[in-house]
Amino acid sequence: MKSINIRRLVMAALCLALCLYLPFLTGQIPQIGQALSPMHIPVLLCGFLCGWPFGLGVGAVAPVLRYFMFGMPPLFPTGVAMAAELAVYGFMTGFLYARLPKKTINIYVALIISMLAGRVVWGVVQTVIAGASGSAFGWAAFFAGAFTNAVPGIICHILLIPVIVIALKKAGILHA
């Protein structure tokens, strides 16, 4: 039991390290680098690999830690909303994957539900922050930020994450 927790902790730390590093790689791609949402990938994987407690923790910590280490993303409002969104991603992928039957289709189900839930939470947090600061955050801003501008990242995540999860299952790293 103790070795399983240590293994999950190490894998969560690896996912957190990837959250810090991947934005440097995609940041070199003008116009699309940020839209690929590179920090989302390791958080979503962390939920699948390590379970919801680690996924939630890595998601909540990654944007804040990256801000304090590298100054990006800006902590307020972007980093706060992103921390809530990523925490929900990590929680939901781990929670749903543990409870759904271990069929390949359910990897997609868990991923898509997690992505939708995270984007809704991002919108709620952005609305609360906007209301507290006296600015507006309406439906158009929500859909633009959560979906329209995020299409490259959404496509990337739907194509990449299930393939990685399936490969990790076949390699015996991710246990059914």
Could you give all domains of the chain from N- to C-terminal order, each with its CATH number?
A: 2-170 (1.10.1760.20)
Q: Where does the pLDDT of residue 26 fall: very low under 50, low under 70, confident under 90, or very high at 90 and above?
A: confident
Q: Count Cβ atoms below 10 Å from residue 22 Cβ, excluding itself.
A: 17
- Span 95-112, pLDDT tens digits: 999 999 989 999 999 999
Q: What is the pLDDT of residue 130?
A: 83
Amino acid at the residue 67: Y
Identify the weakest region by mean pLDDT among 11-15, 89-93, 121-125.
Answer: 121-125
Query: Which pairs from 98-107 meet CB under 8 Å and 24+ separation?
Result: 98/51, 98/52, 102/176, 104/162, 104/166, 107/48, 107/161, 107/162, 107/165, 107/166
Q: What is the pLDDT of residue 146?
A: 65
Identify the weakest region by mean pLDDT among 4-8, 144-148, 154-158, 168-172.
Answer: 144-148
Q: Where does the pLDDT of residue 9 fall: very low under 50, low under 70, confident under 90, or very high at 90 and above?
A: very high
Q: What is the pLDDT of residue 34?
A: 67
* pTM beyond 0.75, yes or no: yes
Comparing 29 with 36, which gets the higher pLDDT? 36
